Amino acid sequence: QVQLVESGGGLVQAGGSLRLSCAASGRTFRNSAVGWFRQGLGKEREFVATTTESGASTFYGNFVKGRFIISRDNAKNTVYLQMNNLKPEDAAVYYCAVGRLATPKITDYDYWGQGTQVTVSS
């Protein structure tokens, strides 16, 4: 029922910032946890961040170390990922996904967007 569209990716220099957006449609969005995952070329999909349905609680992958912030605006049916101090190893396709609980497990999410490409130059 939920449809997700990511945007905001692009090319940025190391140390720069990007703000990704995940625009959602469907009545279940506001009752769902939303996560961000990424997948580099030839690599497995990796957990980045997740937030509960209200946005009150957040959880991040170990590599984030304070650089990224996930937030949501339920009135706009949108979730954001603010990425700061980007590193070349952050280059990947970034996906948002919705599920019942805010967890780092890929299998806990039911709907996925098509992804947005992030490229980081050194």
- The three state secondary structure string of 57-104 is CEEECCCCCCCEEEEEEHHHCEEEEEECCCCHHHCEEEEEEEECCCCC
Contact partners, residue 66, CB within 8 Å, separation at least 6:
none
**pLDDT, tens digit (0-9, with 9 covering 90-100), for 69-87:** 999 998 899 999 999 999 9
What would the mean pLDDT of 88-117 be, rounded to a whole number? 96
d(CA 85, CA 103): 24
What would the mean pLDDT of 42-63 be, rounded to a whole number? 95
The pLDDT of residue 27 is: 73
The pLDDT of residue 1 is: 74
**pLDDT, tens digit (0-9, with 9 covering 90-100), for 2-48:** 899 999 999 999 999 999 999 998 777 888 999 999 999 999 999 99
The pLDDT of residue 107 is: 97
Provide the pLDDT confidence category of residue 122 given band limits of 50, 70 and 90.
Answer: very high
The pLDDT of residue 106 is: 97
